[in-house]
Structure 1
């Protein structure tokens, strides 16, 4: 398979620490260009690439077939639309756009051009989430009645990051909420209703930095929460069933490794130490349940093969649209103080 020429639009923390390394180690992709408005930081690690000062310059040069957009959320729609109109395959960092209507427009445009449009949902490849999928599939806990997913951090000080500024698409709900909702949607499908409490808890915070979102289904309650003011251990996942429970603490190991500058190489990538495994609690016993290997590398391999026509994309744009509709319902619920039925 000939390598697909790939360009990265945006070289902030996520572009530099996550996307660029994953693209660079993918045997089917060739990182040929990066859009950096003022700096040339990407040249330090990838000296062979070309740097462009704008998306327009990149598209005019026509040097890449796959465009990966890792810019602030409010720029995604117009940038993705420009790329699709040029007949480029497009991968957009989550949540793809700010509204489901915009995402639907991009979907129709991609279909009319016959190109790939997908969304970067790497958290589907977290080891703990893959483990949860297996536990549910195996019926370890019997009939599941409660599913709880946390994404808690301790970041009490405000930063200059665009996510904390007064711009559309800011805040923790569009960020971490997109991951948690996507995982829940993958496990349980579309909920009947959404109820949400979304807040700005830190002093002088402009954007939302806390959410508690409940997704209503017939037989199971799904509770999704995130905060930046949790400095005490909280379970990442908590599952309750008729036969027992499962709890898991700690985040997937890959993000920490990428932020530390580690290249995603080798047979030990994404493997969690036994001490961090979650625990299954049954009526008369409890035992550690091995955490599956997490592997974000598989995401870009799938994107390349989807472009080549040998696989379906794992993350489909219809799924991203469904997640956006749940996010829209969450904000509406928070505003109105009641359940929003989908």
Structure 2
């Protein structure tokens, strides 16, 4: 296999256009070969030389394709991934991996049967603020952690007309932002003992969930995952508190905004946090706050890891076990919200 891998991107909506196309195009060793879209004019307006096909099966059957990236609506993630794997292609699926744990298992079975890799685009493992938080926890800078609050709030009072806001499998905020926050928590702490979830709709015209609040219990540690759609005054993105101090971070990683504005991935200052967090420790009983800067984020690292895994140089960015664990927590969250009680995942 050549060191440069040809990629077919299935879907050219917001996620495919803003995230995947530019990240693929600017990751060394990857070539954006084909885009599957029913609107070739939309694709060519951005990428005049792109090869566009309307049928995913045509891309899957093309032996020039090494990797298929699925950025289509959530409900079709599983059937598209299985079809691509059965055609002999490696697959990366945008989050959520699938809409159910059972579907996720079938995708991984198809990957094993085909001898191919199936992974998930969990780009927010490479958010600058998450990299800093992870480093602080790994270094023991916060001591024994007691609380972690992870918020991803927005102010979107009007319900837009898009598939994510319509009733159906994989719709709603829990399956939109939940996979990111859950994956980050599992990366830090593994599977929780129990999950207590509140998932609901708060906007007047909402027909799917637009709010969630979860408490993950790990012994005495509590991890709170929260997202709302009616939050005009955002609090911290992260707030971590332990026996040696606290880390509080406001503002979101800048990469999505940069991609939306057409900034080329890897440009000067790419992924560097303009609003570093504050680490507060205690010296002689007095709080000592200081700005704590860490490495810049880079979503291309997810694609680089997938490239290397396909070439036999490393592990997939999200392993099969990790992908299935996120799905277990997503389903446990739904079960907890429906029953009003804590659920042990898996």
- TM-score under structure 1 normalisation? 0.97
In 2, distance between residues paired with 1:45 and 1:2?
A: 26
> How far has the Cα of 1:59 moved from its partner?
2.5
> How far has the Cα of 1:219 moved from its partner?
2.7
Q: Is the 8 A contact 2:40 2:52 kept in 1?
A: no
**2:278 matched residue in structure 1:** 279
**Greater CA drift, 34-43 or 104-113:** 34-43
Match of 1:337 among 319, 337, 340: 340
Matched, 1:173 2:174: yes
Structure 1: tracts of 5 or more residues without a match:
none
> How far has the Cα of 1:57 moved from its partner?
2.5
SS of the residue 2:177 aligns to: helix
In 2, distance between residues paired with 1:37 and 1:47?
A: 16
> How far has the Cα of 1:292 moved from its partner?
2.3
Describe the superposition over 1:140-178 as per-residue Cα deviations: whole angstroms up to 9, x where unpaired.
111101111000111111101110011211001011011
SS of the residue 1:152 aligns to: coil
SS of the residue 1:183 aligns to: helix
Aligned residues: 340
RMSD of Structure 2 on Structure 1 (CA): 1.2
**2:120 matched residue in structure 1:** 119
Matched, 1:288 2:291: yes
> How far has the Cα of 1:248 moved from its partner?
0.3
Q: Is the 8 A contact 1:306 1:312 kept in 2?
A: yes
In 1, distance between residues paired with 2:191 and 2:169?
A: 25
Describe the superposition over 1:106-164 as per-residue Cα deviations: whole angstroms up to 9, x where unpaired.
11211121111100000000000000001101111111011110001111111011100
In 2, distance between residues paired with 1:47 and 1:304?
A: 25
Describe the superposition over 1:287-316 as per-residue Cα deviations: whole angstroms up to 9, x where unpaired.
111142011111111111110001111211
Match of 1:297 among 288, 300, 310: 300
In 2, distance between residues paired with 1:38 and 1:54?
A: 11
Match runs of 1:228-267 below 5 Å: 228-267=229-268
In 1, distance between residues paired with 2:65 and 2:224?
A: 41
**1:143 matched residue in structure 2:** 144
**Greater CA drift, 258-267 or 12-21:** 258-267
SS of the residue 1:40 aligns to: helix
Describe the superposition over 1:15-37 as per-residue Cα deviations: whole angstroms up to 9, x where unpaired.
00110000001121111100111
Q: Is the 8 A contact 2:120 2:317 kept in 1?
A: no
In 1, distance between residues paired with 2:76 and 2:27?
A: 26
**2:156 matched residue in structure 1:** 155
> How far has the Cα of 1:45 moved from its partner?
3.1
> How far has the Cα of 1:61 moved from its partner?
4.0
SS of the residue 1:303 aligns to: helix
Describe the superposition over 1:192-213 as per-residue Cα deviations: whole angstroms up to 9, x where unpaired.
1111000100002011000001
Structure 1 residue runs of 4+, over 6 Å off?
Answer: none
In 1, distance between residues paired with 2:177 and 2:294?
A: 21
In 2, distance between residues paired with 1:153 and 1:26?
A: 30
Match runs of 1:1-342 below 5 Å: 2-273=3-274, 276-283=275-282, 284=286, 285-342=288-345
In 2, distance between residues paired with 1:340 and 1:202?
A: 27
In 1, distance between residues paired with 2:96 and 2:250?
A: 25
SS of the residue 1:31 aligns to: strand
Q: Is the 8 A contact 1:151 1:226 kept in 2?
A: yes
Structure 2: tracts of 5 or more residues without a match:
none
